[in-house]
Structure 1
Amino acid sequence: MTSPQSVVLTILHTSDIHGHLYPTDYRGPGDKPLGLAKLATLIRRERSQTASLLLLDNGDFLQGTPLMYHYAKFDRSGVHPAARALNALRYDAVVLGNHEFNYGLDLLDQAISDSNCPWLSATITRTTDGQPAYGQPYRIFTPVAGIRIAVLGITTPYIPNWEEPAHIEGLSFEDALEATARWVAHIRANENPDAVVVCYHGGFERDPATGAPTEPLTGENQGYAICERLAGDIDVLLTGHQHRLLAGEVNGVVIAQPGSAGQAMARVELEFEPRPEGGWTLRRKGARLLMAEEADTADEEFLSLFVDDEQRTQHWLDQPIGRTEGDLSIPDPFIARQADHAFTEFVNRVQMAVTGAELSCAAIFTNEARGFGDRITMRDVVSNYIYPNTLKVVRLSGRDIREALEQNARYFEKDESSGGLRVSDAYLEPKPQHFNYDMWEGIDYVLDISKPVGQRVVKLERGGIPLEPDDHFTVVMNSYRAGGGGNFDMLKNKPVMREIPTDMTEILADFIRESEVVQAGCDHNWKVIY
């Protein structure tokens, strides 16, 4: 219960909006329980009911919807849509996420300069002098009664494993745990804060409830280690990146993570009590999630800022660019991942055609992917290929390829209740990772899920001849996978034979336009058995 003399501060925290301003996923009609316009309704409600409020975003704002893609690739007029959103809702600070770099530094610099609030990151520095590359590492806020709130921005250092080198030229990425420890010590020693809030575009490498490891300790996510090492030094850890819905406490540190695409927002409450000698003591703290579905309607005043952008985007999405002959639809993505399918064969064939690579691998990114119908529009392309990946051709050995296929085979588990297959928990927790299961073209292979993990590739041939460990091939894949993303360490640091700097969505669209008619084909070069 709040004492008469205490002061309560509310922190609202969004993360991984991924360009979702409207309550839509752009795949079809209908109002969805997501998007910043829905959260804007909740933000305005909170402002009307709360005397003291900080509004923070935790990154991955600039990429993820056709609206943001269209602006980045074809428009760039006026204030960046992300900055318009941040300014309209009066955000106090934003942390840089890994996807902020997807469209290059020029667009990122524009979004930052267009924003009225600071962008923070203590872990992203200039290679030349080691100084923070974007504004400042932290900001001190005094929202009420002289109470000093330190907000430290931290970004996952794993970005060089995913991003195009040209998009991060001149930048260095520091370990999140070490940077947080150093900067928190600096803040405690020099700023006399009443509370320290760490906004971390990264997640948890361990289960927040049990501490059990949930992923390889690569340094991509270090939230649990931060709570362990800095318990007592930080008060709140606001996280993101993993798209999880979390609110609770780890080692006395209040934690929150509000999913993605504007499906939720974290609400943190800090209660301060005055000390007799002056100053404040943090007496109580807690976090909960506010779901977008709690908003009856999207904020129309907010959406009015993006009407022209949305109209241009919708017109672009509905442009017909080609048609199909044969079946390129995906009625069930799970079934399509169990044997060669016409749609993935098409994507792989396009990748091989534009690069000249001998082999190719590609994924069905989400369970919402539905392939192509008789008529293909840009909406179909961006709905199926949702990431702004470019292509790389790397030189792999037969040993590398076998290891990559064994990693793919971990996607499946035997479902003992039905006798069939299911997606393994490792690919569902802490978030669905269907994008980390690849299907290959140019080789013939069989994955047997009844075999032990690591021994599931029971056939691996090319032209009827088994692949030897020391054979070498050129393989085209997306830039994320070529960097080892998705626990494909065997693909990291391989010789790059060729790079295609064009987004894969543009490559697919151009191929379809030039072909006019896409013929469905499938050579049935691989399958999964159990």
Structure 2
Amino acid sequence: MKTTLKLSAVAVMVLLSGCNQNDEPTPGDVSLRLMETSDIHSNLLGFDYYQNRVDRKLGLSRTAVLIHQARQESPNHLLIDNGDLIQGSPLADFIHEQQLSQQWLSKQAHPAIKALNALNYDVGNLGNHEFNFGLDFLSATLQGANFPYVNANVFQPDAFDEQGAIDWRKQKFTPYVLLDRQVKDSNGRTQTIKVGVLGLTPPQISDWDKLNLQGKVVVADMVDTAQHYVPEMKAKGADIVVVVAHTGIIGGERQAMMENAALPLAKVAGVNALLLGHAHRTFPGDYPNIDGVDNDKGTLAGVPTVMPGVWGNHLGIVDLKLSWRDGRWQVVSSQSQLRAIDSSETSVEDPVVVDQVIADHEQANQWLDEALSKITQPIHSFFALVQDDTSIQIVSDAQLRHARKLQQDGVLKEAWPILSAAAPFRGGRNGPADFTYVAAGDISLRNVADLYVFPNTLQVVAVNGATVREWLERSAVQFNQIDPTNSATQWLVNERYRTFNFDVIDGVNYQIDVTQPARYNLEGNKVSDSYRITNLTYQGQPIDPAQMFYVVTNNYRASGGGNFPGVNAQAIVHEDQFETREVLADYLKELAANNPGGFAPPVNDNWRLADLPSNLDLRFYTSPLEEAKAVVGQRARYLSTQPASESKYPGFAVYQLTLAP
């Protein structure tokens, strides 16, 4: 009898072990898939507006095919966009123009929002470029969304007290959402999981979009914000906390107000998954296995993480396995992955997305064809990274013309010389098609958007000659250090350097000695006492370090974007109301009036790479187009092209360059 009772007790214990406190069976494991898009930049279709042709290497309409496939594979899923959605393509510029003139968004949703609505997105986050067109435009755009938008680190202007403490009640946007999701566990039972989604954007927006945001919002540090809200989300019942941060990855120690804060964010207690963007790069893949970065597992500091590239070229996926342990859901394993869109000739676009945006696309394409002037020779950026270039020169000349008028009108009060800084925005960092090419003939709004892809406004800073030199030294970080005694293949350009940070300054002359170590690193921190900039002159004389100059540039650079030494908000002396694209369009119209038969795009060769021995095998990569091959030998010091099979940059053309005297 005692033995029977003992066995019965064991049986009861076994039975109880399969139940939870409510006498229900213990939940089985749950698989939850997070899908992410980021940095679409209103590239909604596979179309190159600059060249007016189909481009199968980009477009949300192609990402959507991957979204549908990923959903079919995993019934428990969330789809999230990480911002930089409503700016960045001529289609986005057209919508902004229509809103200004016709209050377009009061009549229909933004085409990017229409596309996301049609794909049933669950949450959207705000990137830095969401603020480029101002808060009113952003508000009107978000009203069209059928899903919530989140941002936790942008606040009302009075949210900070004199000591910098934050009144967390004074949010500008909804900081996070808690989504109750019905999911199937491994036993086929329905479970409820509460997923918290927190949104963050770079605090630098207060500088980059100062004209739009000053006095209207203040911005907090992303990591501080996450440290405040993640525990709150957990306390409100979030089983899983997903941080959607429009930020990139760098190593090193955490700094206040970091632009690229992914690693410190991954170390915030309670974060279960991290969705990234902003850097136009991919993870897993593009980042080295530095401390805390694991490309095989797709984790940062052990937290599953993904970053899906740019323009819709990848879908990011984080698969989480959840188990019910100690009375709560816990992540027990994860895997991050990227899926590239099909760019083959037989690839297809999702008809749902196409149907939503095709009418807006066609109207934008017609708008872009408005001719402004005529050029007698092509403009291109194929070799802008290795020699002075017409695509930069024409922008720089337009800026100089505008600034000289400001000086004549007394807006710029001093009689200082005016210099102009401009950079190649389309220099190949986003793939082999990412180059400017404007054929001889009419030059239109389409081409203006090609030459200047950002809605930057024109600004003027006051700096001395010493700062001009340091500005150019920061720019020269673009080049790898070349060993003049090494006859093996050496690559000239550091592909990790953003081409929009390769400023060329017109009004001075200089050479760049790439045999010297870089004075600054990729982040703009001084790392050596070397100088690459040589023979820096103004009006034929060595530049005077104490002489003052006006330098006309854009709001991103003037406010500190790119971390150029001595170039920051304190140096700004004029903030213009016009976008640089407007300044360029106005300049082209003036050239048309003065040159009815057309004009030859200017180039003054005010900078060059310093001479190197003739026996070096020095290489760089550029566009594979026949148009690029056609200009070889016209001005640049090339020897030959190299077979594509030898390239470590697939899809690009490779050129060998001689810098012999």
Report the TM-score when normalising by structure 2.
Answer: 0.73
Equivalent residue number for residue 223 of structure 1: 262
CA distance in 1, matches of 2:482, 2:503: 21
CA distance in 2, matches of 1:343, 1:272: 53
Equivalent residue number for residue 411 of structure 1: 478
Shift of 1:527: 1.7
Shift of 1:332: 2.6
CA distance in 2, matches of 1:132, 1:19: 30
- 1:155/1:200 contact within 8 Å kept: yes
1:236 to 256, 261, 273: 273
Equivalent residue number for residue 509 of structure 2: 444
2:70 to 18, 40, 46: 46
SS in 1 for 2:472: helix
Equivalent residue number for residue 50 of structure 2: 27
Equivalent residue number for residue 209 of structure 1: none
Q: How does 1:81-100 map to 2 (within 5 A)?
A: 81-100=111-130
CA distance in 2, matches of 1:298, 1:122: 34
Name the amino acid aligned to 1:319: E
CA distance in 1, matches of 2:460, 2:564: 15
Equivalent residue number for residue 434 of structure 1: 499
SS in 1 for 2:140: helix
- 1:125/1:172 contact within 8 Å kept: yes
SS in 2 for 1:146: strand
Query: Taking structure 1 as reference, are residues 309 and 418 closer, same or farther at Cα in structure 2, changes over 3 Å only?
Result: farther
SS in 2 for 1:265: strand
CA distance in 1, matches of 2:156, 2:256: 26
CA distance in 2, matches of 1:402, 1:361: 12
Q: How does 1:259-274 map to 2 (within 5 A)?
A: 259-274=309-324
Q: How does 1:506-525 map to 2 (within 5 A)?
A: 506-516=582-592, 517-525=598-606
2:210 corresponds to 1:164: yes
Query: Taking structure 1 as reference, are residues 422 and 13 closer, same or farther at Cα in structure 2, changes over 3 Å only?
Result: same
Report the TM-score when normalising by structure 1.
Answer: 0.90
Name the amino acid aligned to 2:359: D
- 1:161/1:483 contact within 8 Å kept: yes
**What's the C-alpha RMSD, in Å, of the aligned pairs?**
2.5
SS in 2 for 1:502: strand
Shift of 1:284: 2.5
Shift of 1:451: 3.0
Query: Taking structure 1 as reference, are residues 45 and 343 closer, same or farther at Cα in structure 2, changes over 3 Å only?
Result: closer
* Stretches of structure 2 lacking an aligned partner (at least 5 in a row): 1-25, 160-166, 183-190, 285-297, 408-417, 428-433, 520-530, 593-597, 612-661
1:373 to 439, 442, 448: 439
How much identity, in percent, do the aligned residues show? Answer: 31
Equivalent residue number for residue 464 of structure 1: 540
2:423 corresponds to 1:384: no
- 2:88/2:453 contact within 8 Å kept: yes
CA distance in 2, matches of 1:217, 1:410: 24
2:577 to 486, 501, 524: 501
1:313-368 deviations in whole A, cap 9, x for unaligned? Answer: 1112233221113x4533632xx333333332222111010121611010111223
- 2:67/2:315 contact within 8 Å kept: no
- 1:25/1:32 contact within 8 Å kept: no
CA distance in 2, matches of 1:289, 1:372: 34
Name the amino acid aligned to 1:290: R
1:302 to 332, 353, 358: 353
CA distance in 2, matches of 1:329, 1:418: 34
Shift of 1:400: 0.9
Shift of 1:158: 1.7
Equivalent residue number for residue 346 of structure 1: 394
2:152 corresponds to 1:122: yes
Name the amino acid aligned to 1:238: L
1:102 to 108, 132, 139: 132
1:480-505 deviations in whole A, cap 9, x for unaligned? Answer: 11112122132013433322222222
Equivalent residue number for residue 467 of structure 2: 400
Query: Taking structure 1 as reference, are residues 477 and 24 closer, same or farther at Cα in structure 2, changes over 3 Å only?
Result: same
1:474 to 547, 550, 553: 550
- 2:172/2:217 contact within 8 Å kept: no
2:244 corresponds to 1:199: yes
The 10-residue stretch of structure 1 (342-351 or 401-410) with the greater mean CA deviation from structure 2:
342-351
Equivalent residue number for residue 375 of structure 2: 324
Shift of 1:380: 1.8
1:363 to 423, 437, 459: 423
CA distance in 2, matches of 1:234, 1:241: 20
Shift of 1:135: 3.3
The 10-residue stretch of structure 1 (284-293 or 127-136) with the greater mean CA deviation from structure 2:
127-136
CA distance in 2, matches of 1:370, 1:230: 42
- 1:123/1:132 contact within 8 Å kept: no
Count of paired positions: 511
The 10-residue stretch of structure 1 (154-163 or 448-457) with the greater mean CA deviation from structure 2:
448-457
1:160-197 deviations in whole A, cap 9, x for unaligned? Answer: 23223234541111111111111112222x21222111
CA distance in 2, matches of 1:288, 1:274: 25
The 10-residue stretch of structure 1 (162-171 or 471-480) with the greater mean CA deviation from structure 2:
162-171
Shift of 1:424: 4.6
1:32-88 deviations in whole A, cap 9, x for unaligned? Answer: 132111122222233344322211111111111111111111353421122212211
CA distance in 1, matches of 2:572, 2:322: 55
1:74 to 98, 108, 113: 98
Equivalent residue number for residue 288 of structure 1: 337
Query: Taking structure 1 as reference, are residues 497 and 294 closer, same or farther at Cα in structure 2, changes over 3 Å only?
Result: closer
SS in 2 for 1:128: coil
Higher relative contact order (CA 8 A, sep 6+): 1
CA distance in 1, matches of 2:368, 2:64: 26
SS in 1 for 2:143: helix
The 10-residue stretch of structure 1 (128-137 or 465-474) with the greater mean CA deviation from structure 2:
128-137
Flag the structure with larger Rg.
2
